[in-house]
Amino acid sequence: MSGILMVVLVIALVAVLGVLLVGVYGMGRGGAFNAKHGNKLMRWRIILQLVAVAIMVTLFFVNQG
């Protein structure tokens, strides 16, 4: 089970990084894209970070036993 959780954690971390990079790039460029999608991207980043942290905590408790 911990192997599957590790794969899911890596996927979640890559997703966080992807959303973060798109958000920062959009913010740097400014314009219509940032106005339309900037807040939505940062909300998704926060949600994905929460998921990644929850997976990390789950992995911690699974590996304790």
Whole-prediction pTM value?
Answer: 0.86
Of all residues in the chain, the percent with pLDDT exceeding 70 is 100
Confidence check: pLDDT of 47 > 80: yes
pLDDT of residue 1: 75
Please compute the mean of the pLDDT values over residues 35-59 and round it to a whole number.
95
CA distances from 6 to 10, 15, 48, 49, 59 (A): 6, 14, 15, 15, 8
pLDDT of residue 2: 80
